Amino acid sequence: MLPILSLIVLIPILFSAVTFLTKTREQARISALVGTLITLVLTLYMYFSFDSTTAAMQFEEMANWIPSLGISYHLGVDGVSMPLILLNAIVIPLLIIYTWDDVRSAPNRFYGLILAMQGAVIGVFVALDFFIFYIFWELTLVPLFFMVNIWGGSNKKHAAIKFFIYTHVASLVMLLGIFGLYFNAWSITGSPNMDMAHLISQFQFFESGGLRDAIFLALLFGFIVKLPVVPFHSWLPDAYSEAPTAGSVLFILLKIGGYGLFRVMLPMLPFTATPSLMITIMGALGAVSILYGAFLALAQKDLKRMIAYSSISHMGYVTLGCAGLVSLSVSGAMFQQFSHGLIMSIMFMSCGVIQTATGTRIINELGGLAQKMPKLTVIMVLGFMASLGLPGLTGFIAEFLVLTFSFINVPTYVIIALLAIVITAAYHLWALQRAMFGTFNEKLGEIVDISSYQTLSMGIIALLVLYFGLNPSPVLDMMITNSEKIVSLMAVMGV
């Protein structure tokens, strides 16, 4: 059988190397586009061959790598990872098309880093051995750091270093948790094994309840900083707003924090010494992130920082849905990851176009742009409406599932999150009204609408937001199948 998982990881990395060696902008962007389109074709083949009725791993690849340490080359995909791989495979070629006309320094490095990022992120989603998982997890830091540090805004150095320190320290804490799993499982079984499923299955046999809780919290910390949730969020607004538009979209596609909650944390949760405390921690962090992120977004004058803070608010739904521990709340959290990737791509792309056209992102300095940029306005309004949760678009599906079904087990935190709905609508509509409608600000000078390349890339993403909002089943069904498996384990343990 074709080693398709290896290919969708290696092809972006190989084309990244080729792109770094190109001499002109034309060569760099063609090399990048070809690499991402090959990855997309392979991913679509995998998606259409995928069986949504089973929670078992599919397209598995397994080979011994370092037997003396129990490290194996083990890859696989299920309903948790398939939608996120699909999201990356679709959006990244569209991102390259979006930047087609951009003139920037070192285009070979720029497009090479985009491809390297794609390979690393997909590597995290398909890795089933903790050693490989952690290698790819750390590799995602490198392209993002340089993307911000080289092509970022006026405060790029500070933003890049802050992002790297925050997420790298969290990764080291997570690594301690992985070592805790590895060495304790080794002492129980008598043989080393870094396989994720094996280590998670051995977790329940660790004698010390305090040790189990400490390992769980170390891993949880690594994931929620990457997600991020309040109060570990302060790296995000700087990194998102200082990054170039392509960098901001890559950050949005970095769904590895939420993925870790589904892949590692929820299967371990029932075997902690204090599962109710862990649920409380996750529920409280999720609810506070939703509400606090919305208030922070409402206070922003910079359009891009407003979108960045709204991302914190929306990621709170992932943590809250996990704490809900009902199949459909967990599925809603999974769908929120997929939906958020599409919606925020539109919003950051829209912001990038506005900044390029007008020279500013300050909302009060804009105004009446719909008169000059009708194509952008249509796409941007759809993105903003999806972000505030309008029925018929993807944002509504995710938030409805999380709030409705999390209420069964964590009603207090759902009520706190509900308070954010009005605030979320307020800052989205306020920003749209100030920036796009009303009287045109003549000081902005001559403004042209989005290019055909930008219309194509943003338009396709907007259509996907509409399509999956009206028909979520193509990705939601596989999420439900896997979430039922995760939640059934909770029921058996009485959590």
Question: Is 58 among the domain residues?
Answer: no
Question: Do 108 and 28 meet the contact criterion of CB atoms below 8 Å apart?
Answer: yes
Question: Is 128 among the domain residues?
Answer: no
Structure confidence by residue, pLDDT tens digits, 65-97: 999 999 999 999 999 999 999 999 999 999 999
Amino acid at 187: S
pLDDT exceeds cutoff 60 at 349? yes
Task: Give the mean model confidence (pLDDT) for residues 459-483.
Answer: 96
Task: Give the mean model confidence (pLDDT) for residues 249-272.
Answer: 93
**pTM for this entry:** 0.95
Question: Is 32 among the domain residues?
Answer: no
Number of structural domains in the chain: 1
Question: Is 476 among the domain residues?
Answer: yes
Residue position matching structure tokens 């009902």: 326
Mean model confidence pLDDT for the chain: 93
Contacts of 341 by beta carbon, 8 Å cutoff, 6+ apart:
84, 87, 88, 91, 252, 253, 255
The Cα–Cα gap between 491 and 334 comes to 20
Structure confidence by residue, pLDDT tens digits, 138-165: 999 999 999 999 998 888 999 999 999 9
Question: Is 202 among the domain residues?
Answer: no
Question: Is 366 among the domain residues?
Answer: yes
Question: Is 453 among the domain residues?
Answer: yes
Question: Is 113 among the domain residues?
Answer: no
- For residue 439, give its domain range: 292-487
